[in-house]
Amino acid sequence: MLATTAPVEQVLAVVAAAAGVLVGAGSVIAAARQAKRAAEAIRRASSSTPDGAIAALNLQALGDYVYETLGRIPVADYASNPSARRDVTGALEEIERFLDDASEGPQRPMQLDTEVAAARRALANGDVWQALARLRTAIEIDLRERARRNDLDVPERAGAGRLLRALVESKALPLDASGPLDYAIQVANRAVHGEVVPVAQADEAIYTASRALGVN
């Protein structure tokens, strides 16, 4: 049979078969692997939230969540899958609220002096971002407690800056405390947003805030 066939057709048949099989199998395998990776990334994003990373006040945890959990989703799936899109945009909005100090207050019970001590430890370890994020939380804890004591109606999502303004307006905070706290909140906000804050300035912010809060 083959002997009666012209060699050019034989060669063509073999080349065609090889090309077809290679391209076909390669495409199917690549598409299957890509689909599997995309499904895993979407599942991981839908089963997790940035809450843990935000509560940890840890830049690495937050960045890892953004890049390793959200970042692995293919743009094609982000565009075509409404659930994946909702998860990504929802998580980004939640992180943005945290940066803007407009997220809900700490979910776990926190002590003012413990947080200030943690901020000092973080600064001693060279982690300016965490130090100032913790300082901001510490200030928020104190101001929220003062607002509660003074029966001030403040929203759940009010951050340290907003609480400070509300307390100053209602004269529930002495002026000599509001200035240093305002300064510390501003420095902390800059750092939390990602701006580079020198260690000396972070140290100064922690020192002034500690004095204003009455924490040793």
Residue ranges that bind other proteins, judged by CB under 8 A: 1-2, 4-6, 8-10, 12-13, 16-17, 19-21, 23-24, 27, 31, 34, 38, 59-60, 62-63, 66-67, 70-76, 78-80, 85, 88-89, 92-93, 95-96, 99, 129, 192-196
CB of 40 to other proteins, least distance (A): 13
Judged by beta carbon, residue 150 or residue 201, the one nearer other proteins is: 201
CB of 31 to other proteins, least distance (A): 8
Report the distance separating Cα 191 and Cα 84, nearest Å: 30
Question: And the tokens for 86?
Answer: 């909702």
Judged by beta carbon, residue 9 or residue 145, the one nearer other proteins is: 9
CB of 195 to other proteins, least distance (A): 6
CB of 37 to other proteins, least distance (A): 9
Query: In this structure, are residues 131 and 120 in contact, taking their beta carbons and an 8 Å threshold?
Result: yes
* C-alpha to C-alpha distances, 193 to 46, 103, 130, nearest whole angstrom: 25, 14, 12
Residues 24-62 as b/e (b if ≥16 CB within 10 A, e otherwise) read: eeeeeeeeeeeeeebeebbeebeeeebeebbeebbbebb
CB of 116 to other proteins, least distance (A): 23
Q: Which helix (H) or strand (E) holds 40?
A: helix 7-46
Report the distance separating Cα 35 and Cα 33, nearest Å: 5
Judged by beta carbon, residue 170 or residue 201, the one nearer other proteins is: 201
Of 200, 193, 78, 89, nearest to 136 by C-alpha is 193
CB of 151 to other proteins, least distance (A): 34
Report the distance separating Cα 85 and Cα 79, nearest Å: 7
Judged by beta carbon, residue 92 or residue 148, the one nearer other proteins is: 92
Judged by beta carbon, residue 89 or residue 107, the one nearer other proteins is: 89
Judged by beta carbon, residue 67 or residue 207, the one nearer other proteins is: 67
Helix (H, G, I), strand (E, B) or coil at 22: helix
